[in-house]
Structures are given as structure tokens and as C-alpha cells.
Chains A and B, each alone.
Chain A
Amino acid sequence: METPKVFESEYRFCLILWRHEPINSAELARLCKEELGWSRTTTYTVIKRLQNRGVVQNVNATVSSLYSKEDIQVAQMDEMMEKTFEGSVPAFLAAFARRQELSQEDLDEILRILKKK
């Protein structure tokens, strides 16, 4: 199944959720107010929206995610790869490497991920 699309604001929300899940929705709204400056209704709206898209579930006012942080990151990466680098991993790596210094650990991690695939 295709990982659903998550927008940037929603991703910020998900970051909070992943840290605290499972979490009571009222508590989640309080945290969003604190960290994102969202009103309660906005938080509920976003929960509802992500619920509809199948990203999170809300059972008895307890919210938890259906996708891991990595899933979402990979999906976002895929989308960016497709959009910006026309699906070419080398092009992406070249751009990525030029932009920041890669440590040996970073390179090892990258190789590990690539091999796993």
C-alpha cells in the first residue's frame, strides 16, 4: 500500500505524535498549542484529516500513528526524488554530497541502506 501524503505542517504535528504516542487527544492539543502555536480546533481538524487519509487512528480519544516516522520520511523522500531528481539516486547523492560534508559514518549508513534495498 502506498504511503499517504503528509504535508509539512502535518509532519510537524506527526513529529510530536511519534514522540508521545499513544496519547490522549486533549493532551496532544495542549502540546501542539505549546510547540506549534495551534488552537485546539486546528489540532482536532488535523487529526481528523490525517485519520481520513489513514495516517493516524483515533480510538476513544487516544491518538496513535499508523505509519512510522521512517515510512513517512521515505515517502517524502521518494516524492522529492521523483520531483527534483527525476528518480535518479546518483543525481540525488551528488547534490546531497555537494551540499554538506559527509562523515565516514554517514557514508557507511548510506551504503547499508542501499544494500538492504
Chain B
Amino acid sequence: METLFLKLLNLSLTASWMVLAVLLVRLVFRKAPRWIYCLLWGLVGLRLACPFSVESAFSLIPSAQPVPESILMNQVPHIQSGIGAIDAIVNPVLESTLTSNPAASANPAQVWAFIFSVLWAIGLVGILLYGVGSAVLLRYRLRTATKLRDNIWQSDQIESPFVFGLFRPRIYVPYNIPEEDLPYVLAHEETHIRRHDHWWKPLGFVLLAVYWFNPLLWVSYVLLCRDIEAACDEKVIREMAEDARVGYSTALLRCSARPAVLAACPLAFGEVGVKERIARVMQYRKPAVVLVVLALLVTVVVAVCLLTNPKEPAADREEDPRPPASVNQENPKDSTPGTESNLENAAGLIAWVVPENPDEIWNIPSDLTIELPELPGFVFRYNGVITATKPDGTEETLMQGMPIWNAYFQDINGDGIRELCATLSIGSGIVDDRILCWESSTDTVYTLEDRMLYDYTLRVENGVLVADQRRFSDGNLVATGRLVLRDGALGMEQTDPSVLADILLTPGNSFVSWECLYLSPLSSAIATGDSGFRYEIREDGFAKIPQAGWHEPEGAVIYPGGEPLEKDDAEDDEEDGLIPVSDWSWQPFPWTEEEWAELVLMGSESISSLPSQVQDLRHLPLNEQAFLLFADGDLLLVNTNVPSSGHMDIWSIYSMVYEETMGTAVWWCSHQATSDVQPAFSFQFDEGAAVFATCNNGQLIDYDSASGDHEAPTDRALDFPAGHAVWWDPRNADGTYARNAAISFSYPGKDGKYCFGTLYIHSDEGDPLQEDVLYTARVVGTGLHIESAASDESPHAVVTYTPAH
């Protein structure tokens, strides 16, 4: 029943367009003979009564199926009215109210469809019962009518004359009708019978009963009743002498009973609209032939344009005067409603494989083929995987995934040939989304992915392919940008840094320091990229959390040259924890360039002239001792020092990166040692650089994997020769296991500069003496990144350094 109801809803909505057209025609052709109006109403009835419709290229109906039946099945319901503005308003409402909750057993759209269809059925039965009931009642009351002659009967039960009966229609007149009116009245009613109005009106009523939920059709029915009477009047007086009109009008007037309620309307002829009818009768002139022909033409146009459904989009495309690509698409539906179109636009975008519903990425029509004009001889085929048949006839699989979500063609490297770009999900258990791009000139597939860290998905915005980067752990959007293929790498181009500014402040984001841009000359610390903290954006504030292992256990952190590194005193003095923030919104940068230069006394050129170098500079105060800056897409944390004089100094400025971008390495620490170096874990720095490292917990082992030689740990600071891996053993000399450790290291990077960094190791759960325990290592330091190695062989993790540009 829900399906039937949806079908009727769609028919009714498409017929509404027709009703509007008829209303418009009635308004424009006010002088047209009324039988043409009746003809138009007949077309509306035809539209309502026919469950299917011919397709035509001339159709003006915006959408044949504004409410798709799939609304019952889809997780996120959508309508396709064919009018963008309506969809844009309705769909968000539908989404918010009808989106199914996977935990609930039934889809709310289904529940509502059921409720509405039950209501509809009740209404239908009620109205039909009313119609049939009033007819039966009338028939009962007319039993005592007495025969005047032929099919003309008199009754004391009625107020005005009418025709009643479907198959043997009788004319009923009241007894007290004046004798001189009778000929006119009978002429009118006999004309009704000849026009078969005693069929059309009940038919209209039945349709009204079916489509009772559409108020436009109630209007239509009332107007239909009027037009039928007017058309009948016209027919009578056309066949009547001019001087008889006064008599006819008088009869009309005398017969006008109480205003006919709709109740009387169904099957009998309550006289309606008497005033207008008399006016029309008196003014009646045979309509000009031109007007009749014109009105008839309009009727034909209405019939062709509105009785037919729009042709399928595929067919539309064939008629596009500038076909850039011959698209053989079997998906008959419009593409994702409200977001993108299957049609290509000026930017050369072709949306090829597009799921009907973005939430049903499996629901993609299969076996699509497409050819591009700029790549003659290539045939691309989508059938779960995307293959290309090349000009030489060979077929090659370009992309496979599970599944391929969508696929577009757009020129993203500027060579004038469109690249094939698609979003794929890869993996089982841990599924990540990535973007693939096939470039025809190199026949290479490029990938934008960061497994376990970020998901990348494609979408279209203003006709341009845009990639969304989301954090794997919580799905938070971290960046969005135009997809570009440049220098043999697939990447994102930040289009709007202002979007990024707000994305950075999404609660749940966590950052670590990346580079120390400024450190007060009063500080005794060395400016490394590591502030020793991780930072979290929370709903209620900015959390500053000491890195596990940084503060404890006590132990000097020693850098090359043996100088003890003192930690940043200012930061030690600060209270750790949450800085309450009530308003996470950026403010204008409050200082002039001169004032700023004063604040960063003895800072580098790039820092002291920050306001002039950066286009988009914003300020967000945290508390008296810290604020955030947004500088053209970069997030900076500024710590200040307020001496007793009250004059603020800037103590340090750190640039921040998402914690995840630094990478992680994890390993299971086995509690059953099977070799000398187990359960130690090995790190390699770049391609085996010589490293100086110290740790504050656990022990470091220099293990030459080539010879198997290793020294027993003597110190927590070790020089590792080139080619040796840095092994860290969680076991302390006293047999306890370190749960937290910080390994500080330095080594010469590829650019010849020493790079400094810290490996933070921690393990939260489990007893290492009893069971295997999971350890996680993160790295913090400018230009550094850590990744678990692919194999179980040593080294277990690789730290890489990328010099700044």
C-alpha cells in the first residue's frame, strides 16, 4: 500500500503542474468557450487516472518521480522535485527527520510512509462512502417523485432541478417550478445528458476521492463543476434564439437554490456560480474562430508538455548540442540529488560512476561504459572494477577497490586531457578511503592515501573535484581542497584557508609542536621542535598535556656535547591541564607590525615581520600566558611571560601539527624473552644514519644486526654508528618494565643540519611480566615522521626526516 501511495503521490504532484497550467490557461483565455476548459480538465483527469505516461522531449514536468520509491529503502531520504530550490529546502528536513537510525529496527521514512498511506486509505474510503451514501440517500428521497413525461420527474424533496442517474439519467424538477421556466430548465438538463456530464462529474469525484490529499485538486473539482455548467449554458444558448436569453437567465435565477455545498456536488447537478453564469449568458457571443483555434492549440500544447513525463537524463544528454563525450549510461536517475549533476560543465567534469545515494556506496549501477573525445580508442568500463580497453585492443584493470564509490573525469594536471579519479575503500576490518587518479599520458595510477591516519574522499564542489581529508581515528574533517596532480604526485590544494582556520579548532583535534619558531633570549632552553606537550582542542578548553615520559622519571636529557638540556622553565612553571575556552572563534590580530616586533625582541626576521608576511592572520586568546595564532593555514601556539612590570613578553612560539601526522609505530612486547634483544624494539633513522640518543627510562642497546654483536647497556646515552639500529628495551636494570619513556635523539639530516627529536613511548594496559603488552611510539620533532616497518624484521620502525623547503 505504501508503494501505491507513493505512486499516487507522485502522480498527484506531477498532475499539480498540469492543474497550474490549466488555471493559467483559464486566466489567459477568459473568453474561450468553456468546453475547452472542460477538455483541459479532462486532460488533468487523464493524467491522474493513467498510472503510466508517455515520455516526451517536450515535457515540462520537472520530475516524473519527485518522491522516489527508494525513499523507503534509503538510509537518508531524498526527493527529486526537479526544482533545485525545493529539493534544497526539503531534503535537509527529510535528512534530519527521516534519516534512519541503524540501531532502530525500522526506517523512519517507511514508518511515515505507512502512517500516511493508512491515513490516505481512511480518507479515500471515507470520501467514497460519503459520495455513495449521499447518492443512495438522494435516490431514496426521489422515490416518491412523480413522472411528468418521458424521463422528466417531479419531486417535492428537491429545491432545484438536476440530472440524476448514471445509465438511465432522469431529469428531476421541483413541483413548484414556474411553468414558463420549465422549457429552459429542461433544455439545460437535457443538454447535460447529451454532453454526458452525468458521467464526467462522478468520475471527477472518484478521482478527487483518490487524490483527496492534494488541495489543488479540490480547487480543480470546484472549478470543474463550474465549467461544466458554463459549458452547458453555452451549448443551450447557442441553439437558442437571442431573445430567449432573458427567459433562460430568469429561469437560472429562480432555480438558484441555496448555495450548493460541495456535498450536493458529487453526483447531482447543484446549480453553481449563478451570478457569473447569468452574466455570461447575457453577454454570450459566438467565440471568434481564431480564439477557439488558439485555445485548442494551447490545449494540445498542454497535453503534449504536461501529459508526458520528461525523458530520461541519458536521452537529454544526446540532445545536448555540444556533446563532449558519448556517455552510455544505464543509470536512469538523476545523479546524487542536490549535489552534482551527471552533465558535464565548463570545467570539463564528467560524473561517471555516481551512487544514487551517497550513503549507499554499494548501490551503483553496474556495467557502465564511457569514451572520451580526447582519448580516441579508449573505452572505460565500470563493472565493480574500472577497466580500460586501449586503442591496441588490450584491456587493463585501472582501479579496483571494495567498493569504488564514484568516478569522475576531470583535467586535474592541466594537460588538457581529463584524468580518471575515483574514491575507493580498501581493506577488510580496517577500511580506509583513498583517492586514485589515472593519468593517460603516463598510464599511471596515482594514489592519495594515508592508511590508518587519514581517509580521503572525492566530491564535486562548484564543478570542481574536491578531496576531503578526514582523520581515521575520529572521522573529523581536517582539510579540504581541490584535487591536483602535480610533479607526479596527487595532492590537495587548499582553496580556502578560512575554512581551514575553523577546521583546526574542531573539538577532538590534538596537536603536537612541530617547530620552535621563537624562544625568548631569556630562556636557557634550546629551541627544538618539541615543546614536550601535546595539545587538545576540547569543547570547554585547550588542554595542555605533558608527553608521557617527558617529566618522569627524573633524569637529565643530554644532547651532543654532553651538555645537559634544561627543559623550558617557563613551561614548567605553567600549570598543566585545561585552559578554559568559552568561545572558539578567531579574533582579528590585535597588534600593529611595530608592536609585534617589540614583543618578539631578537626574533628572526620571519617572526618579527609576521604581520606583513601573512595574508590571513588571526588571534585567539587562551589565557594571560598563551594565545593561538592562525597564519595562512598554520596554527601557532604562543606562550607569553608577564613579568612583575606588567609588560608582556613573548616567551615561545611553536608551530603545531596534527598529532597523527607525525606518525606512530606499535609493537607487542613479548613477556617471554627468546633472545638477547627481545623484547627490545628497534628504530632506524633515515637510511641508517649515525645517531646520538638518550633515554630516561628502560635501556638502549647498540645491536649490530650484521654481526650480532651487542653491548650490554651501560648508560642511558649512546652513540650509534651509521648502519646500526637503535634498540630500546623496556626492562630496567632492576628488572622493572618501563611503561613510559622518552628517547631524545639527534642525527645529521639529509640537508646536513642536525635534526632533533623525541620518541615518546608508552604502554597503558597489561602486565608485561605476565602477558604481551602493546607499546606505542610517537615521534615529535621538526620534519620527522615515524612509521612501523612493513616486516617483522629489524628495524621495527623507521624514522624519517624531511628537510623544510
Contact = CB atoms under 8 A, between A and B. Distances in A.
A12 B145 CA distance: 10
A106 interface: no
A39 B176 CA distance: 23
Contacts of A39: 143
Assign chain A's interface to a size class.
10 to 19
Interface in A36-66: 36-39, 42, 45-46
A10 interface: yes
Interface string B139-172: 0000111110000011111000000000000000
A70 interface: no
B627 interface: no
A36 B143 contact: no
**Which residue of A9, A38, A46 has the most chain B CB atoms within 10 A of its CB atom?**
A9
A8 B156 CA distance: 6
Contacts of A37: 145-147, 153
Contact of A45 (B143, B155, B175): B143
Contact of B155 (A9, A35, A46): A9
Contacts of B147: 35-37
Contacts of A45: 143-144
Given A8-B156, A9-B155, A9-B156, A38 B175 contact: no
Interface in A1-44: 7-10, 12, 35-39, 42
Contact of A46 (B144, B154, B175): B144
Interface string B341-369: 00000000000000000000000000000
B154 to A, nearest CB: 8
Contacts of B154: 8-9
Assign chain B's interface to a size class.
10 to 19
B143 A10 contact: no
A36 B156 contact: no
A35 B175 CA distance: 16
A47 to B, nearest CB: 12
Contact of A36 (B146, B157, B175, B176): B146
Nearest to A32: B146
A32 B428 CA distance: 90
Interface in B527-564: none
B784 to A, nearest CB: 104
Contacts of A10: 144
Nearest to B145: A9
Nearest to B174: A8
Contacts of B175: 8-9
Contact of B143 (A7, A12, A38): A38
A9 B156 CA distance: 6
A38 to B, nearest CB: 7
B143 to A, nearest CB: 5
Nearest to B176: A8
A10 B147 CA distance: 13
Nearest to A12: B146
A83 B625 CA distance: 100
A42 B153 contact: no
Nearest to A41: B143
Contacts of A7: 144, 156
Interface in B17-67: none
B158 to A, nearest CB: 11
A45 B456 CA distance: 85
B146 A38 contact: yes
A42 B146 CA distance: 11
A39 B139 CA distance: 13
A48 B176 CA distance: 25
B179 to A, nearest CB: 12
Nearest to A39: B143
A95 B220 CA distance: 46
Contacts of A35: 146-147
Contacts of B145: 9, 37
A36 B175 CA distance: 13
A10 B175 CA distance: 12
A73 B374 CA distance: 101
A6 B491 CA distance: 97
Nearest to A6: B156
A9 B146 CA distance: 7
A44 B513 CA distance: 105
Contacts of A12: 146
A66 B138 CA distance: 30
Given A10-B144, A45-B143, 14 more contacts: A7-B156, A8-B175, A9-B144, A9-B146, A9-B155, A9-B175, A35-B147, A36-B146, A36-B147, A38-B146, A39-B143, A42-B143, A42-B144, A46-B144
Interface of B: 143-147, 153-157, 175-176
Q: Which 3 A-B pairs have the closest CB atoms?
A: A37-B147, A8-B156, A9-B144
14 contacts: A9-B144, A9-B145, A9-B146, A9-B155, A9-B157, A12-B146, A35-B146, A35-B147, A36-B146, A37-B146, A37-B147, A38-B146, A45-B143, A45-B144
